[in-house]
Amino acid sequence: MNSFKQAVPIIAGAVAFAAIAATPFFAGAAQQTPSLKKAPLAAQIKEAPIYNQRLLNAPPQIKTQITQLRQVAVQQNWTFSIGYTTALDRSIEQLTGLKLPQPAELEAKMVSQNKFAIEALDLDRKYMIAKKFTLAPLPCTAGSASCSYESRMPAIRNQGGCGSCWAFTAMGAYEGTYRLRFNAVIDTSEQHIVSCAGAGSCAGGWWDPVFTWMLGTKVRSEAQTPYTASNGVCTPAPTGTYKAAAWGFVTVKAAVPTVAQLKSALVTHGPLAVAVRVTPAFQAYTAGVFNQNDTGWINHGVVIVGWDDAKGAWRIRNSWGTGWGENGYMWIKYGANSIGYAAAWVRPARQDLVLNPDLLRLIERNRLVLRPIG
């Protein structure tokens, strides 16, 4: 796998946080700088040892930032730990890049797309029956207290300094659903998406035009077009392999879907492409349940892969490598930082089947644009 895309594993295992008023990062108070002590609610949270090691050698500005964030954590009763993640080595603009339509435009798109999705799903069902294929059932029900597709997801990716979160979100949802439905591990090319789908660039984009493009265009594998963390140049060859049969939104409102709506979509379709608000606290998340409630502009894409009602939280997959969060994943409180906004699902088509001719006629009838213009 390309070095830009491949996440560097962090040290396995975890160590307990120390209480803010008494215990230092490591045994021996001489190693603890008072200003870097952790918040009381983070005292029982476990995080990977690498974060403490990084903080000891961090530049002064990072230590100052961590100190300030931990002070806010105390004031706002955050239930997650703050540390020196690799995400803090980049700006939020480099790490994000989601560009959503305005609410009225988004809702109009949601209504038309979901009307199309109902027909496309029915066509896919009939096509699979005709070809004597059956979809594997998903392992969770909406009534489950917890559900996780994490073990079925591919390795964590790293978008680098390119604002291509939208491409990794789209492909993360697609790859996870593909494995759940067809029991096959695939690695699609985000670079092919960034360079050719007409859905965005390193300056930002989103998953709507990616999924629509995939209805009529086959996406290449990572081996065919490796990730370069750049806009790249679109080339007509090689021919790709992976396509979509249908896709739709979880709701037709420009708002965060309800917990019940998101759970229903997860158990019906698989991992979801969703938006979230990234802040410095989000950048510095190392473990626990993220419960910040920042209502600023939504700027990032991630994949919801499960939930836990005991935690009251979603399990999300990020594209910042394993040096952030819990090996690239996060627990985030239901509704925190607008998690779930613009949620969408995608139904992969089997790679060994030709594009459904009935689907192509439906696409033409709905005048969907499958390729970039110009």
- Which of 52, 158, 299, 300 is labelled catalytic? 300
- Whether the upstream peptide bond of residue 257 has omega within 30° of 0, thus cis, is no
Which member of 165, 192, 269, 299 is catalytic?
A: 165
**Could you write out the three-class secondary structure of the chain?**
CCCCCECCCCCCCCEECCCCCCCCCCCCHHHCCHHHCCCHHHCCCEECHHHHHHHHCCCHHHHHHHHHHHHHHHHHCCEEEECCCHHHHCCHHHHCCECCCCHHHHHHHHHHHHHHHHHHHHHHHHHHHHCCCCCCCCCCCCCCCEEECHHHCCCCEECCCCCCHHHHHHHHHHHHHHHHHHCCCCCECHHHHHHHCCCEECCEECHHHHHHHHCCCCECECCCCCCCCCCCCCCCCCCCCECEEEEEECCCCCCCCCHHHHHHHHHHHCCEEEEECCCHHHHCEEEEEECCCCCCCCCEEEEEEEEECCCCEEEEECCECCCCCECCEEEEECCHHHCCEEEEEEEECCCCCCCCHHHHHHHHHCCCCCCCCC
Q: Which is the catalytic residue, given 52, 158, 291, 318?
A: 318
- Given a contact cutoff of 8 angstroms between Cβ atoms, the answer to whether 341 and 186 are in contact is no
Is 192 labeled as catalytic in the residue annotation? Answer: no
300 a catalytic residue: yes
Burial class (CB in 10 A: 0-12, 13-18, 19+), 153: buried
Is 318 an annotated catalytic residue? yes
Size of the chain, expressed as the number of residues it contains: 374
If phi > 0 it is left, if psi is from -120 to 50 it is alpha, else beta; for residue 85 that is beta
Positions marked catalytic? 165, 300, 318
